[in-house]
Amino acid sequence: MLATQTALDLWEVAGPAPMHPSAWYDGPLASFDLETTGVDPARARILEVALHLDVPGAAARPLVDTLVDPGPEVTIPAAATAVHGITRQRLEAARAPDTATVVRRLCRALAALAADGIPVVIYNACYDWPLLAAEVRRLGPGQRPPTCHLIDPLVLDRHCDRYREGKRTLTATCAVYGVTLDGAHRAGADCVASVAVARAIGRRYPEVGALPAAALHRLQATAFEAWRTSFNAYLVEIGADRTPIPAGWPDRA
């Protein structure tokens, strides 16, 4: 039985899920997404979080899916609200739980997933994962998220289809892989779409789909650094007034 079942009591199936599929995209996958106050992962605060578990042959279930109240001292910029629709009034009306409560529950869920060897899909993990890490550090000195295997469909798509023109937003990438995205910029909806895109990439590109977790992590780290170097060089070439993309595919820890 999955550790997720016993540790969280949130996932009920008739029997154990397949733990050793022939490829990662055919096995259990979790998906994680945040809606936040801004674009800087070191400073932005979580306003909505979703962590879903998707086991083939069973209906996907949310392990965590909630609005989050970062506290009355945290301003929600109008630009952020324009993207996801979350306001201070909405958080208060929903009686959204505070950040510490949600982050602790989220870390328990992630630890249970890690214990089962279930990868976590995050579209643009270089934003969401460092932001989660920053929130965890606010809970106390030395705290950090659990060690998880991460799968980033954005990084994999750039690597596998590097010369495709156009945007690489989740909405645009869903269209490429035939995935329906209902309710973009809601954390739960983005979770559902992200895991579907990840599975589609694994099926379309067997050289990626066949990789074990450790090799997949190394590929993503290398692919991200190659893209980052090229993109930053392009920013210099066109004289863009924009902060360069920092180094560092997110550590699994």
Alpha carbons within 13 A on the beta-carbon side of 26 = 13
Average pLDDT over the chain, rounded to whole? 90
What average pLDDT score do residues 4-29 get? 59
Contacts 24+ apart (CB under 8 A), 106-111: 106/49, 106/51, 106/64, 106/132, 107/136, 107/145, 107/146, 108/7, 108/8, 109/4, 109/8, 109/10, 109/51, 109/63, 109/64, 110/32, 110/51, 110/145, 110/146, 110/148, 111/7, 111/146
Percent of the chain with pLDDT over 90: 81
Task: Give pLDDT tens digits for 128-177.
Answer: 999 999 999 999 988 999 999 999 999 999 999 999 999 999 999 999 99
- Radius of gyration for the chain, computed over Cα atoms and rounded to the nearest angstrom: 18
pLDDT at 222 over 70: yes
Q: What is the pLDDT of residue 200?
A: 98
Would you state the structure tokens that stand for residue 179, as one six-digit string? 């995935």
List of domains in the chain? 3-222 (3.30.420.10)
Contact (Cβ atoms closer than 8 angstroms) between residue 194 and residue 171: no
Q: What is the pLDDT of residue 252?
A: 57
Task: Give pLDDT tens digits for 36-88.
Answer: 999 999 999 999 999 999 999 888 899 999 999 999 999 999 999 999 999 99
